[in-house]
Chain A
Amino acid sequence: MSFLVDSVIMFTSQVLFFGFGWLFFMRQLFKDYEIRQYVVQVVFSITFAFSCTMFELIIFEILGAMSSTSRYFHWKLNLYVILLVLIFVVPFYIGYFVVSNIRLLQRQKLLFACMVWFTFMYFFWKLGDPFPILSPKHGILSIEQLISRVGVIGVTLMALLSGFGAVNCPYTYMSYFLRNVTDSDILALERRLLQTMDMIVSKKKRIAMTRRQMYQRGEDQNKQTGFWGMIKSVTSTPPGSENLSLIQQEVDALEELSRQLFLETVDLQSTKERIEYSTTFKGKYFNFLGYFFSIYCVWKIFMATINIVFDRVGKTDPVTRGIEITVNWLGIQFDVKFWSQHISFILVGIIIVTSIRGLLITLTKFFYAISSSKSSNVIVLVLAQIMGMYFVSSVLLMRMSMPLEYRSIVTEVLGELQFNFYHRWFDVIFLVSALSSILFLYLAHKQAPEKQMSL
């Protein structure tokens, strides 16, 4: 009986998540495009719904809601469905839509889509070889094989995004890094841009007029009929054509220059707007946050390095650690079990919410930046794939943040994966990503003022 009630609860929450994913897709991602292939929207919402259900199950685990058998059942069910979606459904549709965009392969769309899917599966399988992620007891077709590979991809993504985010966040928030931009700088650049456009226009006018005159002369020349006329038209080259190719080259160079000037002007405008924003109250608040986050970022990099260098894997989670510290050092006595449950619930809840929100915002920004009306379907499906893998791996990694009694269900459901490996891998990739982001931002920051000085 209780199993039925639990299932109803799960199903209702899944429908809710599905609806949320649907709305998000319609209102945010696809707000500039017309939705013609509803399949894409359905697949995206399903991926989102099942990923969120996994998080929900973790919360239920901590709170002790629902009986543990039904929890276990739903965990397994959810996991199978999400793996099915991530490994079979989404890649197949990605292949299908990519093939639809290519005009040559219109005939045998399904066949080519299947071929693409098989290629994906091959590389996906090969991915597991260099990593020590499986113990020998697992067979070839077990669920652990699939999860371990999904976990590797997802953890890499998480670490890359974390590393870049940890460095980029203070860089954008703090006004210390803002270059000084005045109105006259912008005006000077705009004037240069318009001058370049004028030069392009005058050269194009010459080209257009010369071609028109050649066309009219060509008409006259064509009137010369007969054998001799034909020979003459072959040997004589019109005098304008060499000139034309020269002018065309100049135009191409000028157009490239105008594009660069445009992008620089946009850059200066956005810097000016950020300077204006930083003087407001909100801007000052974010500036302060930026200092805070930069300290956090440095600490995280430091910890990652220590973990790798000293080959250390944390055994206890932050909640139990915190409670131990307060009990032992500060001498405050309180009901450990009770508080550890609530604190871990809050902590895990915060982690889940911020990671979902952060990922959705990043995906939206990414989508706006690179999509066009042709590729929007493919890009959304790729984003759905990334989102699914990201959420699965965050469940994997979250195991570390939970006290021992709650970890057991995750360990049981996901099978005997080498969890330590994933944490080490996360640390390595995080470090690499953070350091390269620092390098990249440093170079970009240095290059810009030099450009300004040359104006």
Chain B
Amino acid sequence: MASLDRVKVLVLGDSGVGKSSLVHLLCQNQVLGNPSWTVGCSVDVRVQDYKEGTPEEKTYYIELWDVGGSVGCASSIKSTRAVFYNSVNGIMLVHDLTNKKSSQNLYRWSLEALNKDSSPTGVIVSNGSDYDREQFAENPVPLLLIGTKFDQIPENKRNEVLTRTAFLSEDFNAEEINLDCTNPRYLAAGTSNAVKLSRFFDKVIEKRYFTRDPSQMTGFTDRKRFNFKSLHYD
């Protein structure tokens, strides 16, 4: 049971966008009835069949680490959050489709998670032109962009919002999914969303277990302070 291989995926995003509901939906296949603030980090596990339907099918555990908080919070909270960013194999960036600022903050979130070795307050990026698109093009960690509260956008604004998110997904070199976390039908088997999701998980598993390039082992430089022989994630 516990001998299955595992991968670690971070779920990042502003406070209140729906990360806990999303994680609950992905792992329990149920809608979360009473969402409340996440203090610290909450983890849930999804059992995923890699390459389902083919002879190479194998089951993996996908750990979804839902890290709470906002980008603009105190540096003490940021440095404490950073312990969760160890040896991450994939990142899901979640934003609220009804709130533009939450998608703008995703640049800062991704840099905070990917640049752990920079100063504790992280690299502050105020708009898209300050960061390097090439950084994300050759980024070894697969990203997935998820927009929530899709049902709350009125019909006439949908195109505008979808164009905006298309730009975002280009910037991050990532696929995008737009859904409503309180309605399981967006991720029903056979929908394009479900296909994109399993493609993302497959990519994460592949990067972790099937491309044994030593320079890209974990995708991050390990934190020099930690010497985790006893808690090695391999």
Chain A interface residues (CB < 8 Å from chain B) = 31-34, 187, 190-191, 193-195, 197-198, 200-202, 204-210, 212, 255, 258-259, 261-263, 265-267, 269-270, 272-273, 368, 372-374
Residues in chain B near residue A32, CB distance under 8 A: 14, 70, 72, 101, 105
Asked if B27 and A208 sit within 8 Å, CB to CB, the answer is yes
Asked if B76 and A190 sit within 8 Å, CB to CB, the answer is no
Contact among B47, B63, B76, B96 with A212 in the assembled complex (CB-CB below 8 Å): B47
Interface centre among B4, B61, B76 (most CB of A within 10 A): B76
Contact among B15, B44, B77, B99 with A204 in the assembled complex (CB-CB below 8 Å): B44
Interface centre among B37, B83, B86 (most CB of A within 10 A): B83
Could you tell me the distance between the alpha carbons of A404 and B59 in the complex, rounded to whole angstroms? 84
CB distance from B224 to the nearest CB of A (A): 12
Contact among B2, B72, B83, B98 with A193 in the assembled complex (CB-CB below 8 Å): B83
Asked if B61 and A197 sit within 8 Å, CB to CB, the answer is no
**Is B100 interfacial (CB-CB < 8 Å)?**
yes
Contact among A190, A201, A263 with B83 in the assembled complex (CB-CB below 8 Å): A190
Chain B interface residues (CB < 8 Å from chain A) = 1-2, 4, 6, 14-16, 27, 37, 39-47, 61, 63, 70, 72, 74-77, 79-80, 83-84, 86, 96, 98-101, 105, 225, 231
Could you tell me the distance between the alpha carbons of A447 and B191 in the complex, rounded to whole angstroms? 54
Could you tell me the distance between the alpha carbons of A306 and B222 in the complex, rounded to whole angstroms? 62
Asked if A205 and B40 sit within 8 Å, CB to CB, the answer is no
Could you tell me the distance between the alpha carbons of A205 and B47 in the complex, rounded to whole angstroms? 8
In terms of DSSP, what is the predominant structure of the interface of chain A? helix
Residues in chain B near residue A373, CB distance under 8 A: 15-16, 96, 99
Residue of A nearest to B14 (CB): A32
Asked if B45 and A262 sit within 8 Å, CB to CB, the answer is no
Residue of B nearest to A195 (CB): B231
Contact among B16, B63, B99, B225 with A34 in the assembled complex (CB-CB below 8 Å): B99
Residues in chain B near residue A259, CB distance under 8 A: 39-40
Asked if A194 and B100 sit within 8 Å, CB to CB, the answer is no
Asked if B14 and A208 sit within 8 Å, CB to CB, the answer is no
Residue of B nearest to A269 (CB): B76
Residue of B nearest to A190 (CB): B83
CB distance from A54 to the nearest CB of B (A): 33
Asked if B79 and A269 sit within 8 Å, CB to CB, the answer is yes
Could you tell me the distance between the alpha carbons of A205 and B75 in the complex, rounded to whole angstroms? 33
CB distance from B39 to the nearest CB of A (A): 5
